[in-house]
A and B are shown apart, each in its own frame.
Chain A
């Protein structure tokens, strides 16, 4: 089945530093990947849609200069949290749409998530 990985699974950093999170589709090509953020006991909030070879589309209220997204290949998208602050501490989850897999073409497959803690 379609597998999406994320690295790292957790990271602790100091305030003001930048953190990069990788999202990979392991056994399929994903022209579109999505980045979500989830605070404790809350739902997933879509941050941005990442399209291979083009600029990401950010949701309203998400700072594109703070959350840099690069989708350089059909299997890799990265999210960089720049100048991280404690309020950026959250669970970051990516997903990818497998357009050519079996089952529904509209299904998104999620990575395991990255827990970011900013001290």
Chain B
């Protein structure tokens, strides 16, 4: 069966450090992968999309990598800030998107 696993339920880091979140998948061959941010009681907000033929994509302090051989995506937030604290979701799919359970990131000042 298809599975999407995000490395940990929660991740705590110190302000200024780089946060690295992992998304692994099995029994999928997605054309692209997306990362979303979700704050408590709110809908997800789109952050980045990376296609299968792209190795890496950046947006300001965010960087996403996509390794279709390892079936893994890494999501990095550099120079993290307390305002980055949220749950981050990876999502795969073409017509029907499937989400991982998310990693709750807490950046401590």
Residues on A lying within 8 angstroms of B by beta carbon are: 4, 6, 34, 41-46, 49, 59, 91, 93, 95, 104, 106-113, 115
Q: Which residues of B contact A34 (CB under 8 A)?
A: 96-97
Which 5 A-B pairs rank lowest in CB-CB distance, beginning with the nearest?
A110-B43, A43-B101, A43-B99, A44-B99, A104-B49
Q: Mark out the residues of chain B between 57 and 97 whose CB falls within 8 Å of any chain A CB in the assembled complex.
A: 89, 94-97
The verdict on A49 contacting B99 (CB below 8 Å), with A107-B46, A108-B46 known, is no
Q: How many A-B residue pairs have CB under 8 A?
A: 49
The dominant DSSP class at the A interface is: strand
Within 8 A of A (CB), among B29-52: 32, 34, 36, 41-46, 49
A-contacting residues of B (Cβ < 8 Å)?
Answer: 9, 32, 34, 36, 41-46, 49, 89, 94-102
Contact of B89 with A44 in the complex, beta carbons under 8 Å: yes
Q: How far is the CA of A108 from the CA of B46 in the complex (A)?
A: 7
Q: In the bound complex, do residue B99 and residue A112 qualify as a contact, i.e. CB atoms below 8 Å apart? A: no
Give complex CA distance A43, B98 in Å.
Answer: 9
A43 surroundings in chain B (CB, below 8 A): 89, 99-102
Residue of B nearest to A10 (CB): B41
Contacting residues, chain B, for A6 (C-beta < 8 A): 43
